[in-house]
Amino acid sequence: MYDLDSYTLIRELIGHSQQIVSLKLFHLHNEPYLASSSHDGIMKIWNLCDYSLISTLSSAKNAILKYPLAFLESQGMSILATARWAYIQLWNMEDNCIIDFLYGHTSFITALETIQYNQRAHLISGSQDGEINIWNLEDKRIITTLNHGSAMMSLKVVECENKSCLASTDKTGNIKLWMES
């Protein structure tokens, strides 16, 4: 952790045994937390007020916490979504337990993003299968699937033409912008 005003090291958070591949900042009860996932197959939750390690989370489905992380509020719960292979795990961050799995891709999930739409939180997943799934978390189903056309690398919700749009990237160097018509 660095102080961006002085560029000095504030704290080093040590806890993983292998490369960290994803970080996600989120807030619970108005306090900042950082989730880290690593190739060691473990997710760690850090309190950024006192830099303490709050939780070490792993899954009964064997070391799947290596890739994207997304945080959202849905149905009164604070949810952290993690992905590995072709499915997504939903974690209730109040009690640090898995509440559900989402299946809808046929290859590695490489990107997760969240968006508020019609006053509801939605999860967006992109995969090496070339598809982007938009999920309704109330009933755990895919609302729509967008065909990016090649293996997805990243997703980002952006503003374009005064609307929320979705930007998707792939291994060939393309960026596609998606907007509801």
* 8 A C-beta contact, residue 45 and residue 57: yes
Q: What is the CATH number of the domain that holds 16?
A: 2.130.10.10
How many domains does the chain fold into? 1
The predicted structure's pLDDT at residue 150 = 93
Structure confidence by residue, pLDDT tens digits, 80-94: 888 868 899 898 888
Structural domain that includes position 52: 2-178
Q: Could you read off the pLDDT of 126-166 as tens digits, one per residue?
A: 999 999 999 998 889 999 999 999 999 999 999 888 888 99
- Please state the rounded mean pLDDT for residues 162-175: 90
| Residue 12 to residue 167: CA distance in whole angstroms | 33
- Separation CA 176–CA 154 (nearest Å): 11
Look at residue 79 in the predicted model and tell me its pLDDT. Answer: 85
Average pLDDT over residues 26-45: 88
Residue that wins the pLDDT comparison between 116 and 134: 134
Question: What distance separates the 2 farthest-apart alpha carbons in the chain?
Answer: 47
More confident residue, 67 or 119: 119
Question: What mean pLDDT is reported for the chain?
Answer: 87
Are 99 and 79 in contact by the 8 Å Cβ rule? The answer is yes
- Of all residues in the chain, the percent with pLDDT exceeding 90 is 44
pTM value is 0.83
| Helix, strand, coil content of the chain in percent (nearest 5) | 0, 60, 40
